[in-house]
Amino acid sequence: MRKSTVILLICLLTILSGCSWLPGLFPGRKEQLPALPDDHQDSANALPEREVVIYYCGDEGAIPGSKHILRQHHDKLSFVTGFWYQIDRSDPTRLIPMWNSPEEEIKDTVRMAHDHGVKVEALFHNLLYGSSAISEQVVTHLLTDRRLSEQLAHNLVELAKRMEFDGINIDIEFVPPSMRHQFTAFVGTISRALRRENIRVSLSVPAKTGDDPWNGWSGGYDYAALGALVDRLMLMTYDEHGWASETDGPIASAGWVERVVQHAVREVPADKLILGIPAYGFRWTSGQKNPVYLDYVTAMGPVWRGEAVLRWDNEAQVPMYRYGGADGALHRVWFENASSSSWKLDIMQRYGLRGFALWRAGMEDPDFWRLVGQKMKAERDRNHK
């Protein structure tokens, strides 16, 4: 073969090996991802203190639960937010334990956390009824009668005392924009009742880059008014592309997260804000309407098996890949790893937010906790019981 032909072939292969649009050409090859900070720290005392929160869940089939994260990384945690209670759709003053968890099982988690100096708040929500329409019906029912709010507030105080919760997290979603003021009043009723008893109140809110009171997803949430009523406002800075997205894309691109934070700090003091960090991903498949929810290990499976090439999206600052399935379908996977989380934690630090909350613990890249230890210390209450 002539020398010029060999050189031409080498150049062609070099060009093709760098093409991000040829996902299966070099299976098993990984692009160079951004490096994490090294393990060396000049002084542990130089690390900033931040509130480190995990959303704590039980096992859900193939989706791992959170108990092992509390056991292994309690020294890096400030708060556990237990995804434990669903509003009863037939009686919105009543709370139903998730996964039919017995009280003693929840109490065991509370004791484990407290033994390690980690505080616990219980989350209640209006989700997982089978459709978003039912979720909206539940919140509409709750907001139309002030007596229901007052009774629920009373029940929450009793629950927190009985279970020794340090706080309550309100995760009410699908609030109709037309009920924006009623929702603010509802949060005020709940918050006043709990805070009178020295029970912390946090509120999880949809992410938004500006305040459009008639936006169908986020219009019902007045950041400024709500932030004044609670101890912490927890920004759900994820699902930029997610369950409802027919097109694939990043779960939380760095630019979008920063725009959400920029809006939030204009409305609420930064030391009340908690940044949501996603630990998961989605797989979109051609011919299917909705994506599949993935933890980190499942998301990395095709890469580890040599079926796909891991890419890094330099605009979104997240990992992703595409590959063809055995059935001929095209799979597109976007997810989060420690490198993408590093960008988000830097945004949290840069804007002086109080801390972050990981949704959901157990789904994350194991390297995430090494990253947290390199960037911050968990804020702890020295007067913790």
How many other CB atoms sit within 10 Å of the CB of residue 97?
14
What is the rounded distance in angstroms from the CA atom of residue 336 to the CA atom of residue 1?
46
Query: Of these residues, 51, 136, 173, 336, which one is catalytic?
Result: 173
**Sheet of strand 330-334: strand arrangement:** 292-294, 281-285, 330-334, 318-324, 311-313
Residue whose entry in the numeric block shows the structure tokens 């599949």: 292
337 close to 296: Cβ distance less than 8 angstroms: yes
What is the rounded distance in angstroms from the CA atom of residue 78 to the CA atom of residue 162?
21
List of residues 6+ apart from 257 with CB closer than 8 A: 207, 237, 275, 343, 344, 347
What is the rounded distance in angstroms from the CA atom of residue 162 to the CA atom of residue 266?
38
What is the rounded distance in angstroms from the CA atom of residue 336 to the CA atom of residue 19?
22
Strand partners, 204: 234
Any catalytic annotation for residue 173?
Answer: yes
- Sign of torsion over alpha carbons 350, 356, 359, 364: positive
279 close to 318: Cβ distance less than 8 angstroms: no
Local structure of residue 271 (DSSP, 8 states): G
Q: Give the residue numbers marked as catalytic.
A: 173
